[in-house]
Each structure stands twice: as structure tokens, then as C-alpha cells.
Chains A and B, each alone.
Chain A
Amino acid sequence: MGENKGLLQLREITKVFSRGTIDEIRALDNIEMDLNAEDYIAIIGSNGAGKTTLLNVIAGVYPPERGGKIIINGRDISGLSEYKCAQYVGRVYQDPHIGTAAKMAVEDNLAMALLRGKPRGLRAASNKQRRDLFRSALTPLGLGLENRLNALVGTLSGGQRQALALVMATISKPALLLLDEHIATLDPKTAQIVLELTEMIVKREKMTTMMITHNMELALRYGNRLIMMHKGRIVVDMNQEQKSNLTVNDLIVAFERASGEAFDDDSILLRRD
């Protein structure tokens, strides 16, 4: 196992909610997956396909069912609590309010993020050296945040907060970046800006990334691999080459073939733009 160069390995990941009741849901059904370092995977799928559950399991929000294994950089993290998984996994949520602390300054938020995976001690949380680092991380965003280190995050716009959340998720360079529909709540223009920032940071830091999106167009355009989930399973898995010439319509055909179900645009909510 040690010689495997894969960055993330998922083995027999199953997650059942409300087990033993009539509401029992098999949110993840025996997922097997290998990610190589610097992979940038787009994940699409209908509501309830298990996309967010998959990210939650990887991030340690809840453990997989017994027997499931999550291995990052050769280390088994299955069953570790969320704050311990966080040293390997950075995450940006759909809602910018979740990824940032509103009543604290930009600087304080970044100081919290900088110490991901490091012991927190009795040194000053911020000093000149760290502030310089924060400024140089914020400047490329082009939003002027580098001059607003003391501003309360609650006074920033949604787009600015999400851009900050993105920097916070990556500033300590975790092994894996999880993006959970992180542009879904932003207006189209801001969404485009945050998406480009994502692309820039992922490329520059060579982050291994899993991005959930509802937008097929986007899934085809970004990333080097595309995964489609349905009812807790991975039904389509395409590499760069396979997806490079595809159109949204091809993707729908692929989905119908793989899932054995007709594509229903309303219920599945895969936007075609």
C-alpha cells in the first residue's frame, strides 16, 4: 500500500442515515475512489446523490460505516474527529457565513486559518510577519482586502467573504481542498470572479481539489476529471481526455446510460445554462 502514489483513497465508503427506520437512507453506497496528487475533480449529481455526504465523510463531520477507509497521504483518517481531519482537509462551504467568523476581523479569521494542523500555543495570534503574509495572500484577489485586515468580516459582501473563505481554506496548504458548491449562492458576476480565484489558487498552490457543482457546463470546463454521482454511487467517472470533447448533452446521455433512468431536468437540477 505504501508505494501507492495516490493522495486520497476511499475504500468501501458507505453511509446510512436513520438506520432501521422507515426513513433509512443509504446516502453513500460502497464508494471506491482514488485521487492523485494535483487532481482537480468536478463532482455533479442530482439532489440527494450523496455529494455533500461524501465531502462530510472525508472531512470527518461523521464517520463512514464500519469497514470504510479514508486514506490521505498514506494515513488512515477514517473515524478521526472533524477538527483532527481538518489538518489534511480545507473546505469552502456553500454559505460564506459558515466558512468565516462575522464578529471577528479579517486578520483574526486568517490567523485562525493559518494554524490549521499546527499546535495552538501562547504566542501572539498575529504579529507583523503574519500580517505581511496575510496581505500577500489577499492581494492577488484584487478585492482590496489586504488594506482591510482590521475590518469585521460581517461588514464584507458575500463575494468578499467567500473569497476570504477560499484563502482561509488554502493558506496553510492542506493536502486536500473540498469545495461544496461554493459559488452557488453568489450572483453570476461574483460567482465568476470567485471561480476564477479558485482556479488561480488551485493552480498556483497545486492543490488537490474536489469541487461539487450543480452546473454541468462548469464541470466540463474546469478540472481534469469529472465524476457523476447517483443514489450514493459513482455512475460516471471521466478523465481529462474523455471529457474534453463532451457537450452537456453528451453528459446527459452518459448519465441516462449509467443510471438506467431518464434524465429529468426538473428533479435533477443539473443546470444547462
Chain B
Amino acid sequence: MLDTIGNVLSFSLYEGLVFGFVAIGIYLTFRVLGFPDLTVDGSFTLGAAITGVLIVIGVNPFLATLAAFGVGLCAGLATSLLNTKLRIPALLAGILMMVALYSINLRVMGGANVSLLREVTIFDQVFEWLGLGADVWYAELILAGALVVIVFLILNWFLRTEIGLALRATGDNEQMVRGLGADTDMTTILGVSISNGLVALAGAVVAQGQGFADVGMGIGMIVMGLASVIIGEALFRPRGVARLLLAVIGGTFVYRLMITIALRLGMAPGDLKLITALLVIIALAIPYIQKKVRRQWLPPAAKW
């Protein structure tokens, strides 16, 4: 029994850390920039596909993982250019890129999936350096944890810099930011690119952890990331850059824990996305219903 609980916890922690990148990426676009970016479903798979293919042709797995971050940046760059330079609404720009990436991912992999089972991944490398077997329960946690700490430290620093501040201010009051002499196109491009870089990084790590990349693995990432962000915000009510980032990672852990427990209790894996979608709908509807009950003024629903 204790063993099972330990298993559930450590597995959720691992997944919480890895998918924490996705949640941080979504937090950057949806919350910080106010840019509802749907590229994520495609860029997650893109990261997995690129890393998978590079590892299969013999590239160092760390370089391959880094490459995933790079192509993720490019996917985000494309979406944000569609929005800022061609004035395509953010939501539509993201959907267009997501659809385009589906075809691109198939081309990259030359098929629907790539197997990494007999390849050396970053996990194998780290286990070897540390002298750990893959059966040690905390082995994967170490690598995932180290990656999250690095990303956390970099973002926590970056968002407090002059550029980072302009990026945060863009999501709050774009007109003010332009009036104060900062290029909001540039901050939007930067934010959306970094976000998709992180999401692709998550895809690369997940693919290596599970031993394959698959064209469908990114489906539902946005909703999953949003659920994590919402749970993190609701549970920890954070203020300040560092606490927000930690809350998002914490939210991902709690979300994964709930999912893992639900699966152990016999929920069909196929129902997972439905449950997640319902979770997000409920979380988004609660403030509206509260206002309705209190007879407060309600703004019309946003169309974009």
C-alpha cells in the first residue's frame, strides 16, 4: 500500500516537473502576454519529433534536446509574426500554426512515430554519469528536477530584467507600453517564442522518457497546461514572479497527481482529456456564476 502511494507520488512528481514546462509556457502566453496561443499542441510534438529523429541519426541526446528548444522557438516566432506583422488574430494564428505543424511533424518523422527504445537518451546518459540504474525510483526525478530548476532560475531572472518587465507590461496595458517607447511587437514575438521553446523542450524530454515520439502526443496540451495554471493559481494565490512560476509547477504536480489517482482507480485513459476539459470549464465558469449569483455586472464574453 505504502509502496503504491510512493509510486503514485513519485510518478506524479516526475510528470509534474516535465509537464511543468508546458504549463510555464502556457502561463507566459495566456497570462503574462494575454496572447491565447494554440501553437502549443503542435510545438510539443515538434520538439519530440526533432529530438527523436536527431537521436536516431546519432546526434548527442543533449544537443538533440537543445535543438527541440530551438525549433520550438521558431514555431512560436512564426505564430507571433503572423499576429504582429500580418495582424492575424492571436487565436487564429495559433490554430494555423498548429495545423501546419501536424504536417510538418509527419514530414520530420517520416511517419506517425519514431521509436527511441534502443537509443541512448538524456536519461540513459545521466543515469550512467550518476551510476544509477533506470529502476531506481528517483532516477528520472533528478534529471527532470534539474531541468526545471534551471528553467525556473533563468525565467525568474529574465522576467525581472528591463526586457522581461516590458514583456509583462505588454500583457497588462499594450497601449501604455508603446506610449513609453517599447516595441510591443518585439515583446510579443519574444514571449510567444520562448513559450513554444519551453513546450518543445517538454516534448523532447517526454519522448525520451517514454521511449518514442508520436504525431498525436501533443493533442490536448493546451487544455492540460491551462488546467495546471488554473489549479496552481487557485491553490497558491501567488503574487510576484518567483511565486507565480512555482505555483504553476505546483499546479502541474497537483493536476498530474489527480490524473494518476483517477487512472489507478480505474478511469479509462481515453476519458482523460474529457475530464481535463470539464475541469477547465468548471474553473472558468465559477467566477462567472459567482458574479451572477451576486448580481454583479457581467461583461460580454470575449470572441477572441
Tell me the chain B residues, 167-186 only, with Cβ under 8 Å from chain A: 168-169, 172-173, 175-184
Report yes or no: B180 in contact with A112, Cβ–Cβ below 8 A: yes
**Given A122-B163, A125-B165 in contact, is the A103-B172 Cβ separation under 8 Å?**
yes
- Contacting residues, chain B, for A91 (C-beta < 8 A): 179
Cβ-defined contact, B178 with A83, below 8 A? yes
Q: How many A-B residue pairs have CB under 8 A?
A: 84
Q: By the criterion CB–CB under 8 Å, are B183 and A101 in contact?
A: no
Binds B, one of A14-22, A36-44, A113-121, A261-269: A113-121
Alpha-carbon distance between A116 and B182 when the two chains are bound, in angstroms: 7
Which of the residues B164, B173, B178 comes within 8 Å of A86, measured between beta carbons?
B178
Encoded as 1 (CB less than 8 Å from any B CB) or 0, chain A from 84 to 101 comes to 101100010000011111
Q: Which of A84, A113, A115, A168 has its CB near the most chain B CB atoms (within 10 A)?
A: A115
Contact B165 A87 (CB under 8 A): no
Residues of A with C-beta under 8 A to B184? 83
Q: A168 and B180: CB pair below 8 A?
A: yes
Are A112 and B161 in contact (CB-based, < 8 A)? no
Interface membership of B28, Cβ < 8 A: no
A266 to B177, CA, bound (A): 37
B163, B164, B168, B181, most chain A CB atoms within 10 A: B181
Instruction: Report chain B residues within 8 Å CB of A118.
Output: 181
Q: How far is the CB of A51 from chain B (nearest CB, A)?
A: 18
Judged by a CB distance under 8 angstroms, whether A59 is at the interface is yes
A86-B180, A117-B181 given as contacts; is B173 within 8 A of A100 (CB)? yes
Chain B residues whose C-beta falls within 8 Å of the C-beta of A121 in the assembled complex: 161-163
Say whether A125 contacts B164, CB under 8 Å: yes
**A124-153 contacts to B (CB < 8 Å):** 124-126
Q: Chain A contacts of B182 at CB under 8 A?
A: 83, 112, 115, 120
Against A, the Cβ 8 Å flags (1 = close, 0 = not) of B136-169 are 0000000000000000000000101111111011
CA distance A3 to B282 in the complex (A): 67
A123 touches B168 (CB 8 A): no
A108 CB-CB contact with B under 8 Å = yes
Q: Are B162 and A99 neighbours in the complex by a CB distance under 8 Å?
A: no
Complex interface: chain A residues within 8 A of B161 (CB):
121-125
On whether the beta carbons of A116 and B181 are closer than 8 Å, the reply is: yes
B172 touches A115 (CB 8 A): no
Q: Which residue of B lies closest to A84 (CB)?
A: B181
B176 near A99 (CB under 8 angstroms)? yes
Bound together, the chains give a CA A130 to CA B180 distance in angstroms of 17
Determine if A102 is an interface residue (Cβ-Cβ < 8 Å).
yes
* CB atoms of A125 and B160 under 8 A apart: yes
Q: Is the CB of B172 within 8 A of A82?
A: no
Q: Are B178 and A104 in contact, with the CB atoms below 8 A?
A: no
**A124 contact set on B, CB distance < 8 A:** 160-162
Interface membership of A207, Cβ < 8 A:
no
Report B-chain residues with C-beta under 8 Å of the C-beta of A117.
181
Identify the 4 closest CB pairs spanning chains A and B, nearest first: A86-B181, A125-B165, A101-B172, A120-B162
Spell out A's residues near B (CB within 8 Å). Answer: 59, 81-84, 86-87, 91, 97-104, 108-109, 111-113, 115-118, 120-126, 168
5 A-B residue pairings within 8 Å (CB atoms): A98-B176, A102-B172, A111-B165, A122-B158, A168-B180
- What 16 new A-B contacts, CB under 8 Å, besides A101-B176, A125-B164? A83-B178, A83-B181, A83-B183, A87-B181, A97-B173, A98-B173, A100-B173, A100-B176, A101-B172, A101-B173, A102-B173, A108-B168, A112-B180, A120-B165, A121-B161, A124-B161
